[in-house]
Chain A
Amino acid sequence: MTITRDEIFEVVKTCLKEALDEKSKEMPADLGNDTELFGRGALLDSLGLVTMVMDIENRLEDEHQTTVVLASDRAMSRRQSPFRTVGALVEYIEAQLTGTAE
């Protein structure tokens, strides 16, 4: 795997910004691993999440030549949702790419 955690974070950030832009929502100034993506009071609704996740998959493929399926039954059945926070999603993507996901 040639992509670093920081690069994954950047991809997530770019895609999140686009998803928010579409809805004319502001990107949080203090975006970090703890920023809540999806859930009560979080940044994205379910369609926004679907759009962002698909965008992340596309960008990883186009810009980093890595294919990963993020929206899967496996992701959905994890005890801790990988879509809850930015940090959880970055970690999940990294685990998928290195094959260390359970």
Chain B
Amino acid sequence: MWLFDRLSAWGDAEAIVYRDQSFTYAQLLAALAPVPDVAAGDVVLLQGDYSLKSIALLLSLLRQQAIIAPVAPGARIETGQLAATSQASFIMTEDTATATGVRPSHAIYDDLRSRSAPGLVIFTSGSSGNPKSVVHDVSRILAKHEKPRPAARTLSFLLFDHIGGFNTLVQTLASGGTLIIPSSQDPEIVSSSVARHKVELLPVTPTFLNLMLLSGAHERHDLGSLRVVSYGTEPMPETTLDRAQKALPAVRFHQLYGMSEMGILKSKSRGPWVQLGGDGVETRIVDGILHVKSPSAMLGYLDAPSPFLEDGWMNTGDEVEVDGDWIRIKGRRSELINVGGQKVFPQEVENVIAQLDNIADVTVFGEPHALMGNVVACRVNLVAPEDPRALKTRLRKHCREHIAEFKIPVKVEITDAPLYGARMKRLRASFLRE
């Protein structure tokens, strides 16, 4: 596989900085070793983070054409269940390996084996729907990174079990860059890692950017090495992007578009607008919804019917606005709130509420209501305590100046609990299942 020739070529360049410990490509290669008992096409549930050992084990398994289901520490679903869902024959950590005795049997796995390609199983978080298990042909994901890009010092923000995290890992190693792994996703830790290790490329989520700006971590650490902050996984609130651009004027903010099913697509971005394409990716808009076709799309779900339409097109569920070649993601169709027949996108309302003083974070969602079908509700984290009634009056007054009346929250809840989940992504629909 070309990736391993590439790794050898980078030699003594710095490959990984894991919790302030530095490793070269030569050291990474030396840590690769055949994994006993694992045959091509075997499914391995791999619990880990981006330690040298975990990365080496991941690469060794890829080299053996195994199918890898990565699990990050603190996953929401327990390991046994994930092992069962993925029909894993082995459960491994960087130090342990347990055989389960399971012989996987699934048409998608058969397909993968017939291609003699390594596989990747990604468990979606189910933040907007039921969790699903996505199967990728890794050789297709790797193909996107075969053409070398300039080496960059890149912080690994997304977790081990995330398609974006895998993408960052492969992209960095394939281009001879350095992957910097912080000890947590805390803004203080991430900012200090950027400063200490001269990070140039920082892929994050909008939720993280908001937390970083609120915490002031970017002012306590020298982020002068940063060239690009890329963000994806959820729509970016306009206020967050504005504030981030002002706080880091020398940095280019780049919007990515990706999903577990399609991988990370190549994009150009201009503020909230993006252009998708390259690598043979095609896009079309049907009934206001973005459809994507990509040669590096997943093979299918293990535990759900194929979502593909004719000829491999996939309905992303994202409603978009179009301006020539550019699109802007308005929000997920599934998160749309229907208020007496009129549509509300949570994101639009969140953008308006976030402009107010004393709002640390906000999430907007629908609640069933006997009079209107649904009403708009919001939950906010405050910077300083405030009388709930005064807040509600002020919030509604501000909304009234900016958005149509049916979009204004009728319910305003104050909470100290975080409004985002383990993947640093805003929670909306999941509130309703509490």
Contact = CB atoms under 8 A, between A and B. Distances in A.
Interface of A: 18, 22, 46-47, 49-51, 53-54, 71-73, 75-76
A47 B370 contact: no
A54 B400 CA distance: 18
Contacts of A47: 339-340, 372, 405-406, 408, 410
A72 B370 contact: yes
Given A46-B340, A50-B372, A76-B371, 12 more contacts: A18-B393, A22-B397, A46-B372, A47-B405, A47-B406, A47-B410, A50-B369, A50-B410, A53-B371, A71-B371, A72-B370, A73-B370
Interface string B353-397: 000000000000000011110010000000000000000010011
A22 B396 contact: yes
B270 interface: no
B410 A54 contact: yes
Contacts of B339: 47
**Chain A residues touching B, majority SS:** helix
A18 to B, nearest CB: 8
Interface residues of B, number: 16
B115 to A, nearest CB: 55
A18 B396 CA distance: 11
A73 B370 CA distance: 6
B402 interface: no
A46 B370 contact: no
B411 interface: yes
A53 B405 CA distance: 16
A71 B405 contact: no
Given A47-B405, A51-B410, A71 B340 contact: no
Contacts of B375: 50, 54
B373 to A, nearest CB: 11
Contacts of B411: 54
